[in-house]
């Protein structure tokens, strides 16, 4: 699971710093990986849930353009 979270974090950072459409693609992929980890993990993580909410906020801003 650590590898999945690391990949999600990397995609998240790329998504925040890249130009469209790469930014949106990376953020969507990071969201999928974070949510996959929520389903598979037996431990609740405030940090992970904060990242999920942040990704959703950024993607919402993209969709409202």
Q: How confident is the model at residue 64 (pLDDT cuts 50, 70, 90)?
A: confident
User: Taking 80 as the threshold, does the pLDDT of residue 43 lie above it?
Assistant: yes
Q: How confident is the model at residue 1 (pLDDT cuts 50, 70, 90)?
A: confident
> How many structural domains is the chain composed of?
1
When the pLDDT of each residue in the chain is averaged and rounded to a whole number, the result is: 94
**Residues 6+ positions from 64 with CB-CB distance below 8 Å:** none
Q: What is the pLDDT of residue 65?
A: 72
Domain of 60 in residue numbering reads as 1-64
Residues 14, 42 contacting (CB under 8 angstroms):
no
Averaged pLDDT, 25-49: 95
Model's pTM, two decimal places?
0.91
């Amino acid at each position: 699971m650590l590898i999945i979270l690391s990949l999600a974090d990397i995609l998240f950072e790329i998504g925040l710093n890249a130009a469209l459409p790469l930014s949106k693609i990376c953020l969507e992929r990071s969201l999928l990986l974070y949510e996959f980890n929520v389903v598979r993990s037996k431990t609740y993580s405030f940090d992970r849930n904060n990242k999920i909410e942040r990704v959703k906020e950024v993607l919402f801003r993209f969709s409202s353009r």
